[in-house]
Amino acid sequence: MNTTLQVRIDKKTKERARKAFRASGIDLSSGLRLFLTHIGRTGEIPQEMFTYDNAPKSFMKKLMREADYALKHGKSYSSTKEMFDDILGRR
């Protein structure tokens, strides 16, 4: 059974999306259906969507916490050989 989805979006964004889908040979409705079907099948939003320009604030905060932790507690190596020896458990 099909259902209807109504989305509020500004005119410029809608027109840019419509043009992008049209350049790929599909209409706006089919493009959105393709996008939602992909998410439904994989259970994930495409990672390309999470650029630093449009990433959710919670995601960016998590990245910053991880980076701070890595700087404070992460290992450093003087060479790639030393790093691989450590990773592979060679002494």
Mean pLDDT, contiguous 10-residue spans, the chain (91 residues): 90 94 94 93 81 73 88 88 91 74
- Cβ atoms of 9 and 1 within 8 Å: the answer is no
What pTM does this model have? Answer: 0.52
pLDDT of residue 62: 86
pLDDT of residue 60: 77
**In angstroms, what is the C-alpha Rg of the chain?**
21
- Cβ atoms of 91 and 85 within 8 Å: the answer is yes
